[in-house]
Structure 1
Amino acid sequence: MALFSFYNVRKPRQYNHTPIYWDPRKEALEERIRKNKRELGMEEPLEDYKPQIKGTFVEGTSHLKRSYNRGEDTRARKYKTFKFLLWLVVLGVIFWILFFK
C-alpha cells in the first residue's frame, strides 16, 4: 500500500475554454476602428505607454530599487551572490576540517 508512485503519475487537469460565440469580422472591424482613431489622434498611440511601464517593477520592489540606486545591475548582483556562496563553501570546509577531522 503505497501513497506515492513514480510510475503512475497523474496529469493535471487542463482547462479547455470554448467560446460560445466569436465573430472574427466584428473583431477585425474593432481593430480597424482603433487603428484609425490612433492615426487621427483621437486615441493615444501605443508607443506612449512604453515609458510609463518601463521601470515600474523596479520602483515597486524595495530591494531592487536599492540595488538600482547603488548602480548595481543584474551582473553585479549575480557576482555578489557567487562571492557569498564561495565564502560559505570556504567556511564550511574550514569548519569541517577543524571539527570533524
Structure 2
Amino acid sequence: MGLFKQPEYRRFNLKPRYWDPEAEARKEREKRIRAELGLAENGTEYVPDVRAGLQREFNKKRATRPKAGLGYSTRLFLILIILLMVAFYLVTYKLDVIMKFF
C-alpha cells in the first residue's frame, strides 16, 4: 500500500464465438432452395451470400493462375537468352566498333 493509489490493471474479457463454415454454407443452400421454390421462411426474405460467391470465383481463377505465371517466366527467360546472345555477338565480332565509343 503506499501514499498514492495504484491504478488497477485493465482486464480484457473476450468471449470466443464458434464459427462453423460448413453449417453456414448448409444454411445458405437451404435459404437459396427455399427462395427458388417460393417457400416462405419465417417471414424473412432470401439474401444471397455475395461473399461466398466471390470466394468461389476467386478460388476458381486462382486454380488456373499458375499457367499464366509459367508463360511470363518463360518469356522473360527467352528475352534474357536473346540479349545475352546479342551481347556475345557484339563482344566477339564487333569489339573494335564498341571500343570506338569508349
Report the TM-score when normalising by structure 2. 0.35
Q: Point out which structure has higher relative CO (alpha carbons under 8 A, 6+ apart).
A: 2
* Larger CA Rg, structure 1 vs 2: 2
Report the TM-score when normalising by structure 1. 0.35
